[in-house]
Amino acid sequence: MSGDEELDRRRALAVHEIVDAARVGLAQRARLLAEIGDILARVFVVRQLSVLLGVGAVACAYLVAREVFPERRLMWFTVPVLVSFQPMFTFVNAVVNTDALLIFVFCALIYTTVRVLKTRLTLGLALSTGALLGAGLLTKPFILAMIVPLAYVIGRDLWRGRGRRVGVPVAGSGE
């Protein structure tokens, strides 16, 4: 086999792999790579998950900017850009560690906190806040730093509504 034929064969194989990856789907591809048992394949899968968590954190920054600055559309894009171009954020989301999940959980908790401040505490917000706190506790105990701000925001919301919410049972509220 000549050099040109070998190069064409490798290109065709690479295109086939790309098409196959798109067809199989990212989740199934990640599972297949993890089943291989190769440590490099597993690191690749975890790094991709870390990058996706970073994208989620930037998306949360966008949502927070939309809530905080509803009339200033330029800020909707400025805040996520500032978050994504932070050098330490980029570094943390490019390597394999649990900090990427912690950053995403913090950003999502900040978003739910802002939503509670802007609207009211709903069942969905209460459940998502609890799930995010649980995920954060499974990641690192540092998430407990959010307990005091969350308690203040939820207490403030309960004080505004005197503990009466439709669909959010509160202990001792008489519902």
> How many whole angstroms separate alpha carbon 104 and alpha carbon 159?
29
Is residue 109 within 8 Å of 147, Cβ to Cβ? no
Residue pair 68/111 in contact (Cβ under 8 Å)? The answer is no
In a domain, 166, yes or no: no
150 located within any domain? yes
- Residuewise pLDDT in 10s, the chain (175 residues): 566 677 667 666 655 666 666 655 666 666 666 566 667 777 777 888 888 889 999 999 999 999 999 899 899 899 999 988 988 888 888 888 888 889 999 999 999 999 988 888 888 888 998 999 999 898 888 888 888 988 888 888 888 775 455 445 544 444 4
Compute the distance between CA of residue 13 and CA of residue 67 in angstroms, rounded to an integer.
47
The answer as to whether 52 is a domain residue is yes
CA distance 76 to 71: 9
Residue 143 domain flag = yes
Domain assignment present for 96:
yes
Treating both helix axes as pointing N-terminal to C-terminal, what angle do 39-68 and 26-36 enclose, rounded to 10 degrees? 150
What DSSP line would sit under 73-135, residue for residue?
HHHHHHHHHHHHT-HHHHHHTTSSSTHHHHHHHHHHHHHHHHHHHHS---HHHHHHHHHHHHH
6 lies in some domain: no
- Number of separate domains in the chain: 1
Residue 32 belongs to some domain of the structure: yes
Residue 121 has a CB neighbour count (10 Å cut-off) of 23
Contacts of 48 (CB under 8 A, 6+ apart): 26, 30
Q: Which domain holds residue 149?
A: 20-161
Neighbours of 79 (CB within 10 A): 19
> Would 130 be classed as within a structural domain?
yes
Please give the model's pTM, rounded to 2 decimal places: 0.70
